[in-house]
Every structure is written in C-alpha cells, then in structure tokens.
A and B are shown apart, each in its own frame.
Chain A
Amino acid sequence: MSFVPIKFAGSDIPTVEDLRNCIHCGFCLPSCPTYIATGHELESPRGRLHLIDSVRSGRVDINDRLLGHLDLCLQCRACETACPSGVPYGRIMEDARASIMANPKSLQPRQWRLRTFLLRYVITQPIILRFAIFPLRIYSKIKLQNLFRNHISKWVPKRIADLEALIPEISSKSFRRRGILASPEKISARVALIMGCVQGEMFPQTHEATIGVLEELGCEVIAPPSQVCCGALHLHAGDMQKSRELAKKNIEVFEEYQVDAILVNAAGCGSTLKEYGHLLREDNKWAKRATVFSNQVQDILEFVASLMQNSNLQKNLSTLSINVTLQDSCHLAHAQGIREAPREILNQIPGLNLHEMRNPDRCCGSAGIYSLVQSEMSNEILATKMEDILTTDSSIICTANPGCTLQLQSGVRQSELDAEVLHVIDLLYRSLSQK
C-alpha cells in the first residue's frame, strides 16, 4: 500500500472547531480497543486527532504509515463516551477519511479505492449483493464449511482461515418482502421499517422477529419498496458523496409515508440515519428535510422498550430459563447513547438471567468492514471479547447489529463455545412466539 503522500482535499476537511475541543487530557485512551491492544499513542483517539490536526494544518502529509494509523481505527466511538469535552470523534474521522478520498483517483490509496468500489457496486445493489452472497449460501448449505473447518483450514495461510471463519452459516432464504408487512386489527402506531442491506440477506429471521414484535404491540408496519442502503459503510470508508446520494434517496422515499416513526434494527445503520441532518447540513435544498427524517428515526429497541411498559406484551411472554449476556453494539451505546433499552427488554423475559460481561460496551472488532480489512487486529479484539463472554457462562449472546452478530458467531466458532448469537429482538420474539 505505497503511494505518493497526499493532503486533505475537498469540502469535508475536519473543522478547527471540532478538533480544538480536544484538550489532550487522555481520558479516551483507556476506552479505545486499539490503544488497549497496542499501548501506542499512535493507535489512540488522542493520537489520531493530533495526526488529523497536523495534516489539516499542513505540518505533515498523509503517507502510508499515517494512513495505517487512521485505518486501524474501528470508528466504534467508545472515545466519545469517555471524552469529557464532547469531541465529535466519529464525525472528525469520517471527515478525515472523506478528505483523503476527495483527492483525484490517481492519488487515492489503492486499497481504499477498492473498498469504495466494492461498497458502491456490491453492497448498495441488492441484486449484486444477492449474487455475491449466493456462493456463501451454497457453501453453507452443502456443508463445505464443515469440510473446510475440520480439514482444510490448517493447510491454508492464517489470514485466509481467519476470513473463512467469518463466513456465517447463512439461512437458505433472504427477506425480500416489502410493502405492508403487518396490519393488526387495532392499530396503535404506524411505523416504517428500514430493511438494510446485510440484515435481510444474512438474518431474515431478525426482520421476521421485528415485524412479529411490532405487530404484537399493535403497530402497522410498512417497508417502503424503493428504499436503499443507508450509506453508513460508505460514510465510514470515506465515500461521503455516495452516502449523501443514498441519504437523499431514502429521505425522498420515506417522505411519501405518514408514519409515527422510522424504525431500524441495525444499530450501525441507525446511527447514520440519525445523522442525515448533519450529513446534509450544508445543502440548502436538503438540510431541513434531512433533519426531519433523522428526528423520526428510532432504533427498534428504544421504540419497543418505550411501548412495552403500557402494553400487554409482557403477559404474552413465555419463560426462557437461560443465561444471557449482552454485547452493547457500539453504534447503539456510543453513537446513539442507548444502553438501557436492550436491558429493559431482556429483563422483561421471564426466567431470563442477564449476566453482564466485563466491558459490555467495548467493541467486538466487527466494525462494519473492519473485520475484513483489518482482520488481524479485529481477531485480537475479538479474542479479548470472547474471554469476557466465557466468564458469563451464557448460552445466548445478544447484540443489536448484524455486524456484531456475524463477528461474535465467528468468535463462538473459534472458541468452540456452545452458544447462540442473536439480536435482542430475536430473543424477545422467541419468548413471544413460544406461547
């Protein structure tokens, strides 16, 4: 990954106002998974902010070393929770990455260019995504996976084996239904559902569970057919242009529906959807509409937790006598500040024992495409996470985001743990549908 050193370019260069909130107190360091793993200031939020500031002010250019430090960031935003001065780290890192990718194509780091290309032309294209996942589905179905894992894995390079371990056991169907998905007799609220890109392909059951729970709560559920990917992965990879394009499309689509809330069951998407207002703040035509959209967005868990109290839902839950531990998805806890809702929901399930792990809000190493592009660090972080999970003696690990679920499933396989990884809503629905 060698290239001619470059500077920040374009109109999204991190602002002095954002950067100078940092007073270098260092409180973010112990919350940062990569600082914990390396002990290097270079791999800490404070260090990266200083590097970004140094690039911005022209003291240094971005070469491959510096790029490496920026690239090792998970964008988990745990530092934002730890920061007493309110530095908007996630935004600064997104801006920095966008300003790297705003350079002419020939100057862009090659690996980043490839990433942007794949995100643009695979993730956002449902049909191509389906094609891309299809071999994995077959792989899973005809049990090639077992063959690889039991026999072949020891003969291939570790990096390949690590990547293979990420391949989930994918259900043979995907969730493709759109339109009105639930219409109970007595409607208490009308909601629109964000279908995401990966969720429906990899975890169709989570959509089923979401719809099932909402229906039980008396919600009419609509999935606007022409909605597109939320653009979170693009934003994190520096493709701000594409994420703005996607944001506008979604705003346009959802404006057509009169709903009480726009719900999303992937925390990573939710945090970006809630930030559309900021993403389009300088676009006169869109700024206001984006803010209106963002204000309507709620994570499925915060929505369900707020309705649960005054509903009959609890009466219809059957007992699940199990030990459960909860991984706070970073983009739920750190980016959206939602910590209580998943716990409130789990604690409503009769018989369920929520056994908290150490550092439940520390990243599992998934971080969108991070587990693919930084597999070594991702695995190191996952190993620590699995140690914390093991001590809870849980048979179910709950998350709130498909990326976390994939990563923890891989962790469960690697540590040969007998546990299931589910979205909180999956478990709630299981308790609901067993009656």
Chain B
Amino acid sequence: MENNQLATLISELLQKIDRSKILDAPEDLLVYEYDTSIDRAIPDVVILPTNADEVSHAVKVAEIYGIPVIPRGSGTGFAGGALPVKGGILIVLTAMNNIREIDVENRTAIVEPGVINLHLHEALEPFNLIYAPDPSSQRICTIGGNVGTNSGGPHTLAHGSTVNHILGIEVVLPSGRIVWLGGKQLDTPGIDLRGVFVGSEGTLGIVTAICVNLIPTNETIRTMLAIFDSIDSASEAVSAIIRSGVIPMAMEMMDQETIKVVEPRVQAGYPVDAGAVLLIEVEGLSEAVEHDSAVVVSACNDLGAREVRTAESALERESLWEGRKSAIGALGQTAPAIYLLDGVVPRTKLPEILNKVLSASSKAGFKCANMFHAGDGNLHPTVLFDPLEHGATDRVLELGGEIMKLCVDAGGSITGEHGIGLEKRSYMEWVFTDADLAAMEKVRFSFDPVGNFNPCKILPTGHGCAQGHMQITDQHFSAPGVYV
C-alpha cells in the first residue's frame, strides 16, 4: 500500500478507533506476520478493537479502500489461517477478552472472541461446568480462533468439535452490519447460518461474541496410560476399545520419538523405551467408570500392552496431560523447525497409514514424530527439519502433500481441527469435486461478494493469490501439488 493512501486509511480508522489501538509502524507490523505455520505475510495495518462497533467501522473502511480484512486471535494456528496474504487490515481480537455472562441454570456462557480457551475452563470450574472443546493449545488459543477453525482437542472423541458447542454468534458481516446468528436456545428457526459460519476461518465475517453450550462435569475421571511396544499394537487397541462399546472421553497416542522429548520435560513417568503409549480417559458416574476402565484395561492387555497404569492423583493426571499438550512445542527442541500436519483417517486404518507415513518421511530424509487423537483417527504427523538446509523446506512441503494424499486415499480427510487456511487449499480438490467447491464458493460470495474477507484461504481459487505477500510459499507456487 502506498504511504499516502495508508495515511488516509488511518485517518478514516481514527474516526471511531483510538490511535492506541492502531499499529502501522513497520517494526510493529513485523510481529503480526506469523502464526505457528510455516509461512509469513505482513499486514498493512493492525487494529486491536475492544468492541464490535470498532470492528464494524474497520470493515467498512476496508470496503471503501477495497483492501482485505483478516481476523486473528493469539496467532497459534498451524495452517496459516491468520496470515494477511494480500496485506490489508489485520483485526487482532485479543483485547476483546471478557466473559460477559455465565448462565448456570441454562448452561450457557457468552464470551468475546479473544477469551482464551483455558480461561473459560477456569471460570467455569466453580460451577462444575465445562466447555468441552480443549485443543492442545488451550492455554493460549482463543475461543474466536476455535470457532474460525472448528477446533477439536482430546475430548472431541466423546463430545464432538467446536461446532457442536456453539449456540449462537454475533458477527460483523462484510457489509459492516452486526448480526446474531443462532442464539441462546438449542434450536433456532430458519437456515442454520451459525453452522455455516463455524469453521469458515474468517472468510464470511468476523465473530465478535459467542454463546457457548456448557455441560456438567462428570463425577469421576480416570486417566490411564497404556504402554505398548509398537504403534501397531497400540492402534489395534484403539479399535478394540471402540469395538467393545466403550467410548472413552479421550484416547491420545504418542510414539517413541515424541515420548523421548516429552518425558524429560514433564517427568510424568512416560517410559522412554516404549514403542507407543495411549493416554486414555474415561469419565462418568463412578460405577460406570469402574466398568469402562476394566474394559479398557483388558482390551489393552489382550493386545500385548506392557503395562496399564492409572493416574493416582490429580497432580499425576495433570502432568500426564501436560506432557501430551506440550508435545508439539517440545519437539521444537529436537529440530530447528517442525512441520505439523493435521489429517484424518478411519480408525481401522491407523496402523497401515502410520507405517506409510513413517516410510514416506524416511524416504524423504526426515524424522517424523507422531502424537495424535487416536480415538477419532486425527493424525498429527510432525516432520522435523532444518529450514536452512538447502531445499529442505521444499521437500518438507512436498512430503506434507504426500502424507495428506495418503490420508485421503485411505478414505480420510485433510484436516481434523486445524482448518485449511493457506497451507492446505490446494488439497481441497482431493476431497471435493469441482461442483462441491463451486457450491462452497457460492456460499462464500453470498456473504462476501468481493472476496476480501481473509482472501486466499480455504478455497483453492482466488484472484491474485499467487501474487501475495508470502515470503516462503511464494517460491513453491510452481511445485506440483503444493500451494497452487
């Protein structure tokens, strides 16, 4: 953007937004060029609004100037969803972080999009209520971001992902209008636009308030750690447990590569010589938990578990989960960079696909660690690499595509919870037909006819996306199958 144009843009923003909430100095913009994904892109302006009116004003100004609008939470996405690929106004919602209401009787809460997932969990604790989605990054990711990507988490297995827990949302539409979709009721008349919105990654509008559904906490929670010699037997145990009719609240797997880096950090008693471990949690009334955990233990033992341990205290449970939830970051210790993938496969194909993933990465010359939501077949192969090594980034991206293809060919999908964002747009064609994609595009354009809301995200098309601000994937546009 030209300097003088930027100056008038800012003066327009200033009409309703305080100067302290607008960032435009080049060195300030730098820290908004990243999220947890591999790419980078710098916005023209950043605003940190504190209410929906300010968001609406910024959206209207952006429309006048014909520039993109991109929402951002804590910037912890893995798919580049919050990167301002074509510049524009980056709307950072972290300052809208109030929990406006907790309605214990109706089991609902109204929160602003910048509320951190864990903070909502903590606020609900005294009422014995929970908001089910608990992504591994819950200590920093925002509810707004969770809505944008339809996040999951370990407990998705029993409770479903974010969309199942959102009753209503207040959104600023591309026209600048502020509307509620859905409400506090479990069902509202008309077409369910709330459902359309959840997971749309900011392409349809910007969420400024969220009404979430709450569920009561269970009487008893039992956390078990099943230790296996191989990923194969651990995966088979997952299928056996589900087959037995018991649905644990969570079933998480970590392979040896992951355990080796996690255990020294958390000292939770993960055996570093194990081939794989399953972290299994069952919840309910104590009698049911007794029964379910007996089924789980015997299923694991039948498949050759070396040992099944039960967490004896809340502290032990916490440290086991701390290990699982900080696994991604801990892998950062072992390599200068990691590339975390998010794919889904049918549970029964877990052993087969995992083996293929491992052999594909070793063929490409990379180590690959695996920690994932085994219960719902949501894989997170994590490729360890050094971006300074010549050609490594190219090969990693290529490998990422190959792994995604493996998931799709096995009857799975290209995202379980992280969203499509920027990185996986090109894979959309593997799971959807042209007609499917055209239909999605129609939905998108009925909200945002100009296509300036988080452009170049989700859908594989988009005018001018190839000439974007990206620094890294720019170089890869010619590589087949990746970022086309």
A residues with a Cβ closer than 8 A to B are 16, 20-27, 29-30, 39-42, 44, 46-47, 50-51, 54, 59-60, 63, 65-66, 69, 83-87
Contact between chains at B31 and A51 (CB < 8 Å):
yes
Excluding A29-B74, A50-B34, 8 further A-B contacts by CB distance (< 8 Å) are A23-B328, A27-B140, A27-B326, A27-B329, A40-B48, A41-B75, A85-B331, A85-B333
Instruction: Tell me the chain B residues, 134-160 only, with Cβ under 8 Å from chain A.
Output: 137, 139-141
Which of B20-28, B177-185, B231-239 binds A?
Answer: B20-28
Question: Do the beta carbons of B329 and A85 come within 8 Å of each other?
Answer: yes
> B320-371: which residues lie under 8 A (CB-CB) from chain A?
326-333, 336-338
B333, A25: Cβ atoms closer than 8 Å = no
Closest 4 CB pairs of A and B: A84-B329, A85-B332, A47-B31, A84-B326
Chain B residues, Cβ within 8 Å of A25: 36, 76, 137, 328-329, 332
Which of B27, B97, B265 meets A66, CB within 8 Å? B27
Nearest CB of A to B16, in Å: 20
Residue in contact with B36 in the complex, picked from A24, A30, A63, CB distance below 8 Å:
A24
Show 7 A/B contacts (Cβ-Cβ < 8 Å), sorted by A: A26-B74, A26-B141, A30-B116, A30-B118, A51-B30, A51-B31, A85-B329
Chain A residue nearest in CB terms to B339: A23
Task: Name the one of B35, B118, B333 contacting A24, with C-beta atoms under 8 angstroms.
Answer: B35
**Bound: A16/B26 CA distance, A:** 23
CB contacts under 8 Å to A, within B246-284, are 265
Closest to A27 in B: B329
Residue B114, interface by CB 8 Å: yes
CA distance A27 to B136 in the complex (A): 10
Cα–Cα, bound, A54→B33 (Å):
12
CA distance A54 to B30 in the complex (A): 8
A194 to B363, CA, bound (A): 56
- Given contact pairs A23-B332, A27-B329, A60-B27, A39 touches B76 in the complex (Cβ within 8 A): no
Q: Which residue of A lies closest to B141 (CB)?
A: A26
A40 to B328, CA, bound (A): 24
B21-65 toward A: CB 8 Å interface, digit per residue (1/0)?
001011110111011100000000000100000000000000000
- Bound CA span A307–B140, Å: 40
Distance in angstroms from B380 CB to nearest chain A CB is 13
Residues of B within 8 A of A20 (CB): 336-337
Complex: chain A residue closest to B340, CB-CB:
A23
B95 touches A (CB below 8 Å): yes
State the CA gap A40–B75 with chains docked (Å): 11
**Does B452 belong to the interface (CB within 8 Å)?**
no
Closest B residue to A61 by beta carbon equals B27
Which size class do B's interface residues fall under? 35 or more
Give the nearest-CB partner of A59 in chain B: B30
Contact residues in B for A16 (Cβ distance below 8 Å): 388
Enumerate chain A residues within 8 angstroms of B97, measured Cβ to Cβ: 39
> Which residue of B27, B92, B94, B331 is within 8 Å of A51 (Cβ)?
B27
- B326 nearest CB across to chain A (Å): 4
Residues of B within 8 A of A41 (CB): 31-32, 75, 92
B342 smallest CB distance to A (angstroms): 14
Q: Kindly list chain A residues whose C-beta atoms are within 8 Å of the C-beta of B95.
A: 39
Q: How far is the CA of A69 from the CA of B31 in the complex (A)?
A: 11
User: What residue in chain A is nearest B327 (Cβ atoms)?
Assistant: A84
Chain B positions within 8 Å of A, measured between CB atoms, are 23, 25-28, 30-32, 34-36, 48, 74-76, 92, 94-95, 97, 114, 116, 118, 137, 139-141, 265, 326-333, 336-338, 388
* A27 lies within 8 A of B265 (CB): no
Q: How far is the CB of B217 from chain A (nearest CB, A)?
A: 21
Q: How far is the CA of A143 from the CA of B330 in the complex (A)?
A: 54
A24 near B137: Cβ-Cβ < 8 Å: no
Least Cβ distance of B340 to chain A in Å? Answer: 9
With a CB–CB cut-off of 8 A, which chain B residues contact A22? 332
Question: How far apart are the CA atoms of A55 and B336 in the complex, in Å?
Answer: 19
A46 to B140, CA, bound (A): 12
Whether A65 touches B28, Cβ cut-off 8 Å, given contacts A26-B140, A30-B139, A84-B328, is: yes
Is A29 touching B140 in the complex (CB atoms < 8 A)? yes
Across the interface, name the chain A residue whose C-beta is closest to B33: A50
Could you tell me the distance between the alpha carbons of A26 and B338 in the complex, rounded to whole angstroms?
A: 14
Q: A25-B332, A27-B329, A41-B92 are in contact. Are A60 and B30 (CB under 8 A)?
A: yes
Instruction: Select B75's contact among A26, A39, A84, beta carbons within 8 Å.
Output: A26
Cα–Cα, bound, A69→B76 (Å): 21
Closest-CB distance, B84 to chain A (whole angstroms):
14
C-alpha gap A49/B23 in the complex (Å):
19
Contact partners of A42 in chain B: CB under 8 A: 23, 28, 31
Q: Which single member of B94, B114, B141, B336 contacts A21 (CB below 8 Å)?
A: B336
Measured CA separation A201–B59 after assembly (Å)? 58
User: For A83, what are the chain B residues with a Cβ–Cβ distance below 8 Å?
Assistant: 329
- Which residue of the partner chain A has the closest CB to B31? A47
Residues of B within 8 A of A85 (CB): 329-333
A24-B34, A41-B75 known; A63+B332 contact, CB < 8 A? no
Knowing A27-B139, A39-B48 touch, does A86 contact B333 (C-beta < 8 A)? yes
Chain B residue numbers with a CB within 8 Å of A87 are: 332
Measured CA separation A47–B27 after assembly (Å) = 11
* A42 CA / B46 CA spacing, docked (Å): 12
Which residues of chain A come closer than 8 Å to B116, judged between CB atoms? Answer: 30
Q: A20-B336, A39-B114, A42-B31 are in contact. Are A60 and B330 (CB under 8 A)?
A: no
Residues of B within 8 A of A65 (CB): 25, 27-28
Interface centre among B23, B114, B327, by most A CB within 10 Å?
A: B23
**In whole Å, how far is B422's beta carbon from the nearest beta carbon of chain A?**
15
Closest to B332 in A: A85
Cross-chain contact A23 with B139 (CB below 8 angstroms): no
Contact B28 A27 (CB under 8 A): no
Most buried by A among B139, B140, B336: B140
- Complex-state Cα separation, A60 to B26, whole angstroms: 8
Bound-state CA distance A44–B34 (Å) is 14
The distance in angstroms between the C-alpha atoms of A85 and B340, with both chains bound, is: 15
B329: nearest chain-A partner, CB-CB: A84
The residue on A at minimum CB distance from B74 is A26
Contacting pair B329 A30 (CB below 8 A): no
Residues of A contacting B330 in the complex (Cβ-Cβ under 8 angstroms): 84-85
Min Cβ gap B91→A in Å is: 13
Taking a contact as CB atoms under 8 Å apart, the answer to whether A39 and B137 are in contact is no
Q: Is the CB of A23 within 8 A of B338?
A: yes
Q: How far does the alpha carbon of A59 sit from the alpha carbon of B139 in the complex, in Å?
A: 31
Q: Quick check: A84 and B265 within 8 Å, CB to CB?
A: yes
Q: Which of B31, B331, B333 gathers most chain A CB within 10 Å?
A: B31
Min CB–CB distance B328 → chain A (angstroms): 6
A66–B26 Cα distance when bound, in Å, is 10
Contact (Cβ within 8 A) A39 B94:
yes
> Min CB distance, A226 to chain B, in Å?
41
Is B36's CB under 8 angstroms from A23's CB?
Answer: yes
Q: What chain A residues lie within 8 Å of B329 (beta carbons)? A: 23, 25, 27, 83-85
Separation in Å of the B318 CB from the closest CB of chain A?
A: 15
A26 contacts B30, CB within 8 Å? no
